[in-house]
């Protein structure tokens, strides 16, 4: 039988090629001092230096946060935005805004002209962020791909190519990621000035009588004014005697989100899995552009139904960075309490879903009931079972009610006690645990290379947690245990969740009895000048969700990018399945329990 990795390099799936050495061998470490940071902490590089500098930082322990594509042409002529936004403000505020606007003009003059750009954000070992931005030429928007040296960036770069038409030269797998063939979307939908499709009712125009010597084209090869052709998606498959293809989805038997999974298998043994998502792409990042900070919040918050606190908190922290707003102590502690309640109900539900992956209905039903109890606690505390509409820039939308807080610790303690009993019963089930041990193994090396985050990373021995690595809100004042395992299989991910939910219950019990008195929201300090940007991350139930935010004129959103933990971990799921049986896929998938919605956005 022909093995998968015996095919030519250009026909191998990305996961097989990403593990290799970067083109040109070793990349030297490059000091950041060669590129001074601007007021936002952004270092401006030429495109040719982007991969070299990023590669040097990765060699010294940096990890990928995100790669975001930008179209800054919307900032042309927006220099007066901040001043206009403060026209009715007090004199001191107007003076401060004028100074900020002047500084913004001076900074902008030193930068590349507004247009297309790519920014790479890396997390350094000391907890700081390195932001590297490269402007790309409009007539040939391209830059050397980061994926060969930083495989975790593979989906980021494919998304940028789809939505902005910026090509990562040398990327091993530039198949469409976000845009599907039947999607009725404009070309490069995140561009400010993009080719438009002619209306169906418009009559066809006659060709020019004087042919041009060189027809004008848009990037991508389409005639000027027309979108480039939609590239067909060709799944990667294994070839050889006895190999067959098993397509699953995007519509599934259960009430779950849509995703297409194509297995290459021999008998029941999986050789390769190719996953295709973005069937629920809603264009949220485009939808928030031009909205005020307040009006954009509900959209960002609803990127995912079960990570509402995570996304709302990441967005609020980014807004607070841009505006220089100091959150009151009561709100900082309350935000941590809400984040741990979100982690609690997610982890309990995820343990039950792992049981569902093997048909162990006792665990599914019993843990499902415990999750329901937690959702009812959420509703009593905030008015919403999934904690929507509570976190806001500056603090909270409303204070948490004292009578419910007084009983919260004891209530959560009782639920946590019952969950511990159920977990002990599940661990004693040899039939269940035999399915979990050794299934869906993700080695430490693979997790590091593909940029695994959250539970998936900690179950493979990577000690990463934003609550400890870059503590925010009230986390610096808490004693937070870091739970890790080394096996990297489904059982390890089960154990990490079981121990983390116990820690979350202890934090909720602690904070419910000692929220500081005082105000629970602070008005935004001042509107930032157009073009200012910030990056904020929050450790959610599935790992860190990072949000990149740029201010537009009059305190609006110019550009927003959300990279959720699920987005980061989906390539890891695909890499965890080969070597297992086809019936193991539901179990492996549920042990990651990733969201489709906040991946697709």
Give residue 75's pLDDT: 81
Q: What is the pLDDT of residues 398-456, one digit of tens each?
A: 999 999 999 999 999 999 999 999 999 999 999 999 999 999 999 999 999 999 999 99
Q: Which tokens is 157 given?
A: 């770069």
DSSP secondary structure string for all residues of 541-567: TTEEEEEEEEE-GGGBEEEEEEE-HHH
Instruction: Give the residue from 538, 601, 521, 516 showing the smallest Cα distance to 567.
Output: 601
Cα of first residue to Cα of last residue in the chain, in angstroms, is 40
Instruction: Give the residue from 354, 308, 291 showing the smallest Cα distance to 588.
Output: 354
The residues facing 496 across adjacent strands are none
Rounded CA separation 584/225 (Å)? 49
DSSP secondary structure string for all residues of 67-82: EEEEEGGGGTT-TTHH
* Domain ranges across the chain: 4-169, 300-600
Distances (CA, A) of 126 to 31, 50, 312, 455, 557: 15, 21, 26, 21, 30
Q: What is the pLDDT of residues 308-340, one digit of tens each?
A: 999 999 999 999 999 999 999 999 999 999 999
Distances (CA, A) of 294 to 100, 196, 595: 22, 30, 25
Ordered alpha helix ranges (H), 237-360: 284-287, 293-301, 308-323, 329-357
> Which long-range contacts link 398-401 to residues 24+ away (Cβ below 8 Å)?
398/520, 399/330, 399/520, 400/334, 400/337, 400/515, 400/520
535, 128 contact by CB (below 8 A): no
Distances (CA, A) of 475 to 128, 333, 465, 472, 538: 17, 8, 11, 6, 11
Give residue 192's pLDDT: 86
DSSP secondary structure string for all residues of 109-161: HHSPPSSEEEEEEEE-TTS-EEEEEEE--SSS-EEE-STTT-GGGHHHHHHHH
The residue written with tokens 């991946």 in the block is 599
Can you list the residues of the chain whose pLDDT is less than 70?
1-31, 76-114, 182-183, 193-231, 255
Q: Which tokens is 492 given?
A: 């390890």
Classify the C-alpha dihedral 10-12-13-15 as positive or negative. negative
3-state DSSP assignment of residue 386 = coil
Rounded CA separation 401/409 (Å)? 14
Helix (H) or strand (E) holding 100, with range, is: helix 91-110
Rounded CA separation 139/50 (Å)? 19
Give backbone dihedrals phi and psi of 267, rounded to 5 degrees, phi first: 65, -125
Instruction: Give the residue from 490, 369, 349, 486 showing the smallest Cα distance to 432.
Output: 490
Residue 421 has, within 13 A of its CA and on its CB side, a CA count of 8
∠ CA 264-233-587, nearest 5°, is 40
Taking each helix axis as running N to C, give the angle between helix 490-512 and helix 402-427, from 0 to 180 degrees, rounded to the nearest 10: 160
Residue 382 has, within 13 A of its CA and on its CB side, a CA count of 23
Regarding beta strands 42-45 and 129-135, do their DSSP bridges make them parallel or antiparallel, or are they unpaired? parallel
Rounded CA separation 236/10 (Å)? 11
Rounded CA separation 510/337 (Å)? 9
Instruction: Give the residue from 559, 450, 519 showing the smallest Cα distance to 69.
Output: 559
Instruction: Give the residue from 537, 558, 538, 540 showing the smallest Cα distance to 549.
Output: 558
Regarding beta strands 391-392 and 395-396, do their DSSP bridges make them parallel or antiparallel, or are they unpaired? antiparallel
Per-position b or e across 487-519, b if 16+ CB within 10 A of its CB: bbbbbbbbbbbbbbbbbbbbbbbbbbeebeeee
| Domains 4-169 and 300-600 fall in the same CATH topology | no
192, 558 contact by CB (below 8 A): no
The residue written with tokens 């086809």 in the block is 582
Distances (CA, A) of 592 to 262, 340, 402, 460, 580: 18, 19, 36, 12, 16
Give residue 194's pLDDT: 55
Residue 261 has, within 13 A of its CA and on its CB side, a CA count of 23
Q: Which tokens is 415 given?
A: 């639920």
3-state DSSP assignment of residue 518 = coil
Instruction: Give the residue from 272, 271, 248, 245 showing the smallest Cα distance to 260.
Output: 248
Instruction: Give the residue from 68, 57, 72, 69 showing the smallest Cα distance to 130.
Output: 57
Q: 421 CB contacts (<8 Å, ≥6 apart)?
A: none
Preceding peptide of 21 cis, ω within 30°: no
Q: Model's pTM, two decimal places?
A: 0.84
DSSP state of 220: T
Give residue 257's pLDDT: 86
Give the CATH fold of the 4-169 domain: Beta Polymerase; domain 2 (3.30.460)
Class of 300-600 per CATH? mainly alpha
Regarding beta strands 167-169 and 142-144, do their DSSP bridges make them parallel or antiparallel, or are they unpaired? parallel
Q: 188 CB contacts (<8 Å, ≥6 apart)?
A: 163, 164, 165, 194, 195, 227
């Amino acid at each position: 039988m022909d093995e998968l990795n015996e095919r030519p390099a250009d026909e191998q799936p990305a996961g097989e090629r990403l593990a290799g050495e970067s083109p040109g061998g070793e990349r030297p470490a490059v000091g950041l001092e060669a590129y001074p940071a601007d007021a936002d902490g952004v270092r401006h590089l030429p495109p040719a230096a982007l991969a070299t500098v990023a590669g040097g930082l990765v060699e010294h322990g940096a990890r990928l946060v995100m790669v975001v594509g930008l179209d800054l042409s919307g900032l042309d002529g927006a220099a007066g935005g901040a001043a206009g936004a403060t026209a009715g403000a007090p004199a001191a505020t107007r003076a401060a805004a004028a100074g900020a606007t002047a500084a913004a003009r001076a900074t902008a003059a030193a930068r590349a002209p507004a247009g297309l750009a790519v920014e790479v954000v890396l997390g350094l070992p000391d907890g700081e962020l390195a932001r590297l931005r490269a402007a790309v030429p409009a007539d040939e928007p391209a830059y050397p791909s980061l994926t060969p040296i930083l495989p975790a960036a593979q989906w980021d770069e494919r998304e940028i190519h789809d939505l902005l038409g910026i090509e990562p030269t040398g990327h091993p797998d530039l198949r469409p990621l976000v845009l599907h063939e039947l999607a009725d979307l404009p070309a490069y939908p995140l561009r400010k000035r993009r080719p438009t499709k002619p209306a169906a009712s418009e009559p066809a125009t006659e060709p020019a009588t004087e042919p041009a010597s060189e027809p004008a084209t848009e990037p991508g090869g389409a005639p000027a004014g027309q979108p480039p052709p939609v590239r067909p998606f060709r799944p990667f498959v294994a070839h050889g005697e006895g190999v067959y293809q098993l397509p699953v989805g995007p519509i599934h038997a259960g009430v779950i989100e849509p995703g297409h999974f194509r297995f290459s298998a021999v008998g029941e043994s999986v050789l390769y899995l190719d996953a295709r998502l973005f069937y629920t792409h809603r264009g949220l990042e485009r939808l928030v552009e031009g909205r005020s900070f307040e009006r954009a919040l509900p959209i960002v918050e609803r990127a995912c139904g079960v990570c509402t606190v995570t996304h709302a908190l990441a967005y609020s922290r980014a807004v607070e960075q841009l505006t220089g707003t100091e959150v009151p102590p009561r709100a900082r502690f309350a935000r941590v309490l809400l984040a741990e309640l979100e982690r609690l109900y997610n982890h309990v539900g995820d343990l039950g879903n792992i049981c569902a992956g093997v048909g162990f209905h006792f665990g599914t039903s019993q843990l499902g009931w415990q999750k329901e109890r937690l959702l009812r606690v959420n509703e009593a505390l905030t008015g919403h079972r999934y904690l929507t509409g509570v976190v806001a820039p500056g603090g909270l939308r409303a204070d948490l009610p004292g009578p419910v807080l007084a009983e919260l610790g004891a209530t959560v303690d009782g639920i946590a006690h019952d969950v511990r009993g159920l977990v002990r019963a599940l661990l004693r089930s040899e039939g269940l645990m035999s399915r979990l041990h050794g299934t869906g193994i993700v080695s430490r090396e693979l997790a590091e290379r593909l940029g695994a985050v959250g539970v998936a990373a900690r179950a493979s021995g990577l000690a990463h947690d934003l609550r400890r690595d870059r503590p925010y809100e009230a986390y610096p004042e808490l004693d937070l245990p870091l739970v890790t395992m080394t096996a990297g299989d489904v059982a390890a991910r089960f154990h990490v969740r079981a121990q983390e939910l116990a820690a979350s219950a202890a934090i909720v019990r602690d904070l419910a009895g000692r929220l500081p008195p005082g105000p629970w929201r602070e008005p935004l300090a001042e509107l930032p000048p157009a073009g200012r940007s910030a990056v904020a991350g929050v450790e959610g139930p599935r790992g860190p969700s990072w949000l990149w935010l740029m201010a537009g004129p009059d305190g609006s959103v110019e550009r927003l990018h959300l990279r959720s933990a699920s987005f980061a971990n989906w390539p890891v799921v695909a890499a965890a399945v080969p070597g297992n049986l086809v019936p193991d896929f539901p179990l492996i998938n549920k042990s990651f329990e990733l969201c489709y919605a906040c991946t697709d956005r």
